[in-house]
Amino acid sequence: MKVMFLTRGDVQKVISMREVIEYVEKAFKAKGLGKVQMPPKIYVNFPNGDFRAMPCYIPEFGFGGVKIVNVHPLNPEKYNLPTVMATILLIDPETGKPLAIMEGGLITDMRTGAAGGIAAKYLARKDSKVVGMVGAGAQAKTQLLALNEVMDVEEVKICAKTSSECRKFIKDMSYLGLDIYEKKIDDVVKNSDILVTATPVTKPIVKDEWVGEGMHINAIGADAPGKQELDPNILKRAKIFVDDYEQACHSGEVNVPLAKGIIKKEDICGELSDVIVGKKKGRVDDTDITIFDSTGLAIQDLATAVLVYEKAKKLDLGNEIPFFAQ
């Protein structure tokens, strides 16, 4: 028995945002119809970070799988390693045998971006054209990539911790042919149709008074207990949709306001998958403020890994490793 091994380079050769959006949306639909198995994300804490285990099974896709992903903020400066590293294992549901092992960092970035694009497709105003971005890292890049697939972006405003990060973002994303400008955070937020927050902060940096009626917000950064990017008063004004109810209450943008009693669980309107399959209404008026609280789901990883696996097989990419070799 052999297992396919795919490097980041292999993944990069076959992955495209348009196809990732298609596969991830199918996964959300399956979730909305109750046709997935996805236990809550498991956290293991280390002195300098953590790792998470994310298993799931989507019968429609014909695969099970698990992602192991770490978050170590000191890595870039101290060890010259990425903050986030991930490995995905694809499993044959019929026999339980491993089918593929692949680098999961790029898949994590792409599937997170895809979820933001899908959320904007279902929750943002149809005439949305101006995107504001708080944060300029890898997640911000794939968010913009996905938004550019689902809407006609006319202007992008960005801010980050440093101007050099913004300049790098503008240079790296110039191939999209969009007008991208560095602005102060208040100017980034004000008058944006869609706001993306993709930072690791634990105290709110987006103020309530900056957020106008009709805005849609993709809140991406909060993915662990204690993290939050938005003034809780914004959540009190908005229609909140999460990717997964249990996971978001534990570690999403809503986790701190819930723990402090600022909002209640009943204030969460539903999951994005509920909107996609028609169980819940999303935006009902152009004045609605909508929020997508994204924590990142195993079904997104599995759907994207299946896409990569199928395309890699067709192109004969990767290396096959004997699994039982001595």
The residues that are catalytic are 67
Q: 49 pairs with which residues across the strands?
A: 46
CA 140, CA 315: separation in Å to the nearest integer?
A: 30
- Count of residues making up the chain: 326
Q: Could you give the angle at which helices 17-32 and 138-150 cross, rounded to 10 degrees?
A: 80
Q: How far apart are CA 63 and CA 303, in angstroms?
A: 9
Question: Using CA atoms in the order 218, 18, 145, 313, what is the torsion angle rounded to 10 degrees?
Answer: 110
Helix/strand/coil percent split, the chain, to 5 = 40, 25, 35
Asked whether the beta carbons of 34 and 60 are under 8 A apart, the reply is no
Distance CA 218, CA 194 (A): 8
Tokens 């809550």 belong to 40
